[in-house]
Amino acid sequence: MAATCGCACSAAPKLIFACSGAADVGAVADQAARKLTREGAGKMFCLAGIGGRVSGIMATTEAAAKVLAIDGCPLNCAKHSLEQAGFKDFEHLQMADLGLEKGKTPVNDESIAKVAAKGAQMLAC
């Protein structure tokens, strides 16, 4: 996985793994990842596939130009899942660092946009 950006000709994807937990912040993380995908900043990918060590998902992640983990709460499940699978070189967005707290964050366009903007910044060269 490239730590820095080179030319824009690389076919390697930028992958986004989001917490999609049951809490409000999980829903926001999931929707922010989908927004980033729609906007072309990266491609949302399957965190469960990382946990299950699905060979194709693991190989694609290993070949990614950049990886972003978005965690809704300080338990950091997305980050830990990637680390447990052996990935070390990735960006980590912890939503609590943006002032979004579990149980207190509305699942609305404003919260989703806030997370997506930070994610886009982290995925940019």
For the stretch 73-104, pLDDT in tens is 999 999 999 999 999 999 999 999 999 999 99
Go through the domains of the chain in sequence order and give each one's CATH number. Answer: 14-123 (3.40.50)
Asked if the model's pLDDT at residue 3 lies above 50, the reply is no
Residues ≥6 apart with Cβ < 8 Å to 112: 28, 31, 32, 35
What is the reported pTM?
0.91
Going across the sheet that includes 66-71, the strands are: 43-44, 14-18, 66-71, 91-94
Residue pair 77/21 in contact (Cβ under 8 Å)? The answer is yes
Mean pLDDT for 103-116 is: 98
